[in-house]
Amino acid sequence: MNQESVAISNEVVHLDDDDFETLVIQSKKPVLVDFWADWCQPCHMMAPTVKALAEEYGDRIRVAKLDVDANPMTTHKYGIRGIPALLLFKDGQLVQQIVGVQPKEEIARIINNHL
């Protein structure tokens, strides 16, 4: 997927260690990254919320997922110890971290504080 198609999508983008810098750190809009794993039941519980946020915010933010098992470099760099972990980046900087299952309204409130 090229950067242009990602920029206009309101779908959840799947990241890896190789494209994290380009799609998150260099993004011109805020990026919410869901650090998750397939074996993690709470992560699966959060998946519909993450998808709903991507649809609700459309092109105002990018919503992405990063599999912690397949992407150890990024997971280690941000000190992810518990999942699900939602990290919000703005202007290339980590501005908020949310760990554990949270209601959509709480996550939306945090996103709105940074828009």
pLDDT digits (tens, 9 = 90+) for 54-90: 999 988 999 999 999 999 999 999 999 999 999 999 9
Q: Residue 31 is part of a domain; what is its CATH number?
A: 3.40.30.10
How many domains does the chain fold into? 1
pLDDT at 8: 44
Does the annotation count 40 as an active-site position?
A: yes
- Domain enclosing residue 59, as ranges: 3-114
Task: Count the Cβ atoms, other than its own, within 10 Å of residue 16.
Answer: 13
The SS3 of residue 66 is strand
Q: Which of these is catalytic: 40, 52, 99, 110?
A: 40
Tell me how far apart the alpha carbons of residues 12 and 70 are, in angstroms, rounded to a whole number. 17
* pTM of this structure: 0.90
Confidence tier at 10 by pLDDT (50, 70, 90) = confident
H-run or E-run covering 26: none
Q: Is 9 helix (H, G, I), strand (E, B) or coil?
A: coil
